[in-house]
Amino acid sequence: MLLFFVILIIEILAGAEVDLFVPSLPELQSTFHLSPYMVQLTLSVNFVSYCLCCLFAGTLGDRYNRRHVMLASLFIFVLGSITCAMATTFEMLLLGRCLQGVGMAAPAVLAYAIISDHYPIEKQPAMLGILNGMTTTAMAFAPTIGSYVNLYFNWRGNFTVLLIFSIICLIAGYLFIPSKKGNSTVSLSPSAYWSLLCSPPLLAYMAAITFLVTAYWLFIGISPILFMQGLGVSLSQFGLYQGSLAGIFAVVSLLSPKILNKLGQKTCFQAGVIMTMISVALIILVSLSATKNPLIITAILMFYAISVVFPVNILYPLSLEVLPNAKARTAALIMAGRLIFTALALELTSYFYNGTFLNVGLAMAIFLILSLFFIWTLIKKSWLMLDSE
């Protein structure tokens, strides 16, 4: 289990990488005399470099030794963190943020592929539950930790924390991530993904997973505007609402290994799908009711957060087994799909946003219905094989 612990701390770094330094944005703005648009570039540059490198990381992870790709990427992240912590100009800071995005792409993609390489399929849903739970917990607490670090050590302190944490991850990865020979026939061009896109079972898995989680990230992305402007929630109260949603997802994810062991994979999956169906009905009902009560909206979304834990944690490992020689590329496609659909959903929903939960909830419901359709396709085509124990 030592390898799993190393992957866990790497995923925690990936989860906290953005949220830890976000509290430093106001100080960065005053330090470098930036406009709000310019200071947001520290997020945008990181996000764009991360997105662009995800697919490239997938082909590298299948063609070469995953251990080497992971270590090289973590080393780039360390360089990026050093650059950020020592930045004397805004341009130097942006360079560091870009390197951090490049360096985090491969660990985010390859972590699940490495677990799939070295652990049996029946153990992977429970492991994924722990990973998701701990990563979500890290994301929930990172802004609070970042606030205190920034308070006592200024904005460089948060990048120093990321630097120390990334060095620990790099050393742990060097010591404990095993080698696995890659496939030299895998092309580094975009054509390497063609065989994946031509696989109907894999496309169904990817769509089911992507749409399940896109609904969640759509709400997370638009919730600050919805709650604080549309529903009149204060900043301090908003943290409690947001934290409760992340908290319930993290708790159920962390408890999922015990629940899976007791009830079995098939029962947990069926219960999650049924709860997701109920979530769709509740989200539509609340959307059409035009309620402006943040408690009701949060309660419904907490139920949804619980419902998707088992479907996501069970479907993801199975998706990596559809094409066993393309695990890294599969993980990269799922990651890229989630990022692309979340970005598109946020743009469209923001365009039609009217200050209420109506358009947000209906957009979420559409994604969940699409996910349920593809889950039904997996079952109907007998592409979904679940253990009953």
Shared domain check, 244 and 171: no
> Are residues 246 and 143 both part of a single domain?
no
* Range among 95-104, 229-238, 321-330 with highest mean pLDDT value: 95-104
Higher pLDDT, 157 or 186: 157
- Chain segment 233-247, per-residue pLDDT in tens: 776 677 677 778 877
Return the percentage of the chain with pLDDT > 70, whole number: 96
Is residue 61 in a domain? yes
pLDDT (0 to 100) of residue 387: 67
Q: Does 108 map to a domain?
A: yes
- Does position 389 have pLDDT exceeding 60, yes or no? no
Domain check: are 128 and 243 in the same one? no
Query: Exposed, middle or buried: residue 22 (CB in 10 Å: 0-12, 13-18, 19+)?
Result: middle
**For 94-112, what is the mean pLDDT?**
90
Owning domain of residue 363: 196-380
Same domain, 221 and 313: yes
Is the Cβ–Cβ distance between 210 and 376 less than 8 Å? no
Q: Grade residue 85 by pLDDT with cuts at 50, 70 and 90.
A: very high
Specify whether the backbone of 232 is left (phi greater than 0), alpha (psi in -120 to 50) or beta. Answer: left
Looking at the predicted structure, is the pLDDT value of residue 313 above 70? yes
366: enclosing H helix or E strand: helix 358-380
DSSP string, 206-225: HHHHHHHHHHHHHHHHHHHI
pLDDT at 300 over 70: yes
Last residue of a domain, one of 125, 142, 176: 176
Please, which residues have CB within 8 angstroms of residue 67's CB and are 6 or more apart in sequence? 173, 177, 178, 179, 180
Is 142 in the same domain as 226? no
Same domain, 69 and 210: no
The pLDDT of residue 271 is above 70: yes
Q: Which residue has the higher pLDDT, 27 or 308?
A: 308
Q: Who wins on pLDDT, 74 or 126?
A: 74
Range scoring the smallest mean pLDDT among 43-57, 83-97, 306-320: 43-57
- In whole angstroms, give the CA distance from residue 252 to residue 229: 30
Q: Where are the alpha helices (DSSP H) in 177-326?
A: 194-197, 200-224, 235-263, 265-289, 294-307, 309-320
- Are the beta carbons of 212 and 311 closer than 8 angstroms? yes
With a cut of 80, say whether residue 174 has pLDDT above it: yes
131 and 214 assigned to the same domain: no
**How many residues does this entry show for the chain?**
389
Kindly state whether residues 11 and 127 are assigned to the same domain: yes
| Residues 100 and 146 occupy one common structural domain | yes
Query: Is 226 domain-assigned?
Result: yes
Q: Is 201 helix (H, G, I), strand (E, B) or coil?
A: helix
Question: How crowded is the C-beta side of 224, counted as CA atoms within 13 Å?
Answer: 4
Least confident of 129-133, 220-224, 285-289: 220-224
pLDDT at 388 over 60: no
For residues 14 and 97, what is the distance between their CA atoms, to the nearest angstrom? 13
Range with lowest mean pLDDT among 40-44, 126-130, 378-382: 40-44
Instruction: Kindly tell me if the per-residue pLDDT of 4 is higher than 60.
Output: yes
**Are both 208 and 167 inside the same structural domain?**
no
Rounded Cα distance, 223 and 226, in Å? 5
Q: How far apart are CA 202 and CA 184, in angstroms?
A: 22
Structure tokens at 76: 């780039």
The confidence score (pLDDT) of residue 143 equals 67
pLDDT value for 37: 66
Mean pLDDT of 79-83: 96
Give residue 76's pLDDT band: very low, low, confident or very high (50, 70, 90): very high
pLDDT the model gives residue 323: 87
| 41-66: pLDDT as tens digits | 787 788 788 888 888 888 888 888 88
Whole-angstrom distance, CA of residue 373 vs CA of residue 30? 49
What does residue 326 show for φ and ψ, rounded to 5 degrees?
A: -135, 35
Q: Is the per-residue pLDDT at 296 higher than 80?
A: yes
- Domain with 350 in it: what CATH number? 1.20.1250.20
Number of domains in the chain: 2
Task: Kindly state whether residues 158 and 280 are assigned to the same domain.
Answer: no
Contact 56, 80 (CB under 8 A): no
Closest among 81, 104, 84 to 94, alpha carbons compared: 84
Measured CA to CA in angstroms, residue 161 lies from 43, 54, 86, 93, 197 at distances of 18, 24, 13, 16, 40
Domain finish residue from 126, 145, 176: 176
Model pLDDT for residues 331-353, shown as the tens digit of each residue: 888 888 887 887 788 778 877 87
Tokens representing 354 are: 């009217």
Token pair for residue 241?
């609402």
Classify 296 as helix, strand or coil.
Answer: helix
Average the pLDDT over 185-202 and give the result.
Answer: 85
Mean pLDDT of 112-120: 85
Mean pLDDT is lowest, of 65-79, 127-141, 309-323, for 127-141
Domain boundary among 176, 208, 229: 176
Report residue 168's pLDDT band, with 50, 70 and 90 as the boundaries.
Answer: very high
pLDDT digits (tens, 9 = 90+) for 23-35: 777 788 888 887 7
Mean pLDDT computed over every residue of the chain: 85
Element holding 205 (H helix, E strand): helix 200-224
The residue among 25 and 6 whose pLDDT is bigger is 6
144 and 16 within one domain: yes
